[in-house]
Structure 1
Amino acid sequence: MKTVACVIDEGFAPFEFGVACEVFGLDRSADGVPNFDFRVVAPQPGAVRSKLGFSVNVEHDLSFAHEADIVVFCPLPRESWAHIDARLIDLAVAAVTRDAWVVSVCSGVFVLAASGQLDGRRATTHWMYASTLAAMYPQIEVDPDVLFVQDGRIITSAGTAAGIDACLHLLRIELGAEMANRIAKRMVVPPQRDGGQAQYVDRPLLEVSSDSLSGVAGWAVQNLRDELTVEEMSAHALMSPRTFARRFKSEFGTTPASWLNRQRVIHAQRMLERTDLSLEQIAQECGFGSAAVLRQSFARVLDTTPTAYRARFTCAVPAEVA
């Protein structure tokens, strides 16, 4: 069982706090998902007031967080960014130093920034706060466009729903794609948004109508084994390649090629977990063409090898030898 500390302080954001509670705090053992020892902590236990005026009663101080495997820093109000509680800074330094997983959601990144643990690293936050973060801490490489960034065992995310993506990304690393997908299914959210996807798209999803490209995306996922060039996808959508690429980026926040590669990696993860097929067979089934290309994609996206991933997360029963 992994231990998870969700860190809040005065003026915390309820939605992002709820994300951490939902992802790590619920009992999903009935779905075969291992539970976490999840606790909410604060520098000063007792009633901690949210930015919306209501309070939550926190039973634990920061001592549990100093031993936790995963430490999640929830957003802090703007007025506290320039004078972060020293106890939170000490916690951030200690967590990174002992190589715990550290996750910041939205403006929670200002705790990590104040601790100096992001110096020389790439990080992100809500696009509205990115310029402030960059101005206050020029030694940090701030990327204002992406959903989340992983640098070593530090994950920083953008605001609101991007926190879900960051937490699911961490669960894919710790529990494997199959378990992360089960959790995403229970949460009724897509499990496949990767960190490089844009924080916002030109055309909001609520405005997508019958001309949405979701049908083409669904068709592509069912045919990952094929080469699936932009020309083929655009033909399926009855568009020119140029129009299709522009529309795809507008609707999905990433390029068709980047999106396809991520879907193939996810499919390969599940096959590594659930089958005993060879790497060459999996590469063919996922559309990579060869095991070498599969290895390259795994290294780039997941920072590991297919063999190492299978050894850690396999749930397949090896075929009997005749």
Structure 2
Amino acid sequence: MTGGAGFIGSNFVRYVLENTDYSVTVLDKLTYAGNKESLAGLDESRFSLVEGDIADAELVNELVPRVDAIVHYAAESHNDNSLSDPRPFLDTNIIGTYTLIEAARRHEKRFHHISTDEVYGDLELDDPNRFTEATPYNPSSPYSSTKAGSDLLVRAWVRSFGLQATISNCSNNYGPYQHIEKFIPRQITEVLEGRKPKLYGAGLNVRDWIHADDHSSAVLTILEKGEIGETYLIGADGEKNNLEVVELILETMGKDKTDFDHVNDRPGHDLRYAIDSTKLRTELGWQPKFQDFEAGLKATIDWYTANRDWWSSAKAETEAKYAEKGQ
């Protein structure tokens, strides 16, 4: 699998090792978003880490013949970073995906591509609809547009070359091992360091939250049961606006729920994401287990509280970057 030292990737590695008898080889470039410590303590008889770039065709073609399937998590993924420097998103999300699907085609390997609901653009706050597999793509940032491009590459390789592939588009993940530049861990660590959380604009933007373990179980289900050529949307009916999430973090951490700062909004900030995962549930029998967002958020807060060593070294640099943008 690619990107296994990142947030949702490392959670997937742990989930697979705990719930199956599979062995996992991780290919990860170990950029700022990848952390070896997220994979610490794993059974080395069933797990190995290779440091390298998914766009390195020679390395990819050396590794692919050794495995039965490729699960492609690796991506440049932070919207704010894509707005300030789009080029890495093209290199990783487009060229990297091309390199992997070419290797999978050449060596006739099963391929699963991890993507995002952000490829569909956004919904109005009062729209009764949700994204489905038939929703047209309408990306709004360099990040989401390169992810849309990578999805389309996979679809084209399935149709033109017979690639044995599936795709999943997931809503916003939360849980342990997420980089502190992201919304929920940023707010938690701000409180832990004695500062106020930061809320973009009025905080009315809605995200459909899913625990990383539920994402992992869905991906494993698709890998084992999914129909080749199909796309599956992964969601857990967890719609909440950013204001609600910040207030809940503050209350859970024993603070006044109004004790936060408003900061400059993100350019082109999508209003609302919402996933309809009916196809995944009815056709493959998947169900999320972590549907109590408050309980999942409390467990996430507890993890960041207990694991300061994992995130503290990156905190100052992360906040300095936000400060430059007035965020």
- State the TM-score, normalized to the length of structure 2: 0.35
Q: With CA pairs under 8 Å and 6+ residues apart, which has the higher RCO, 1 or 2?
A: 2
- Provide TM-score, normalisation by structure 1: 0.35
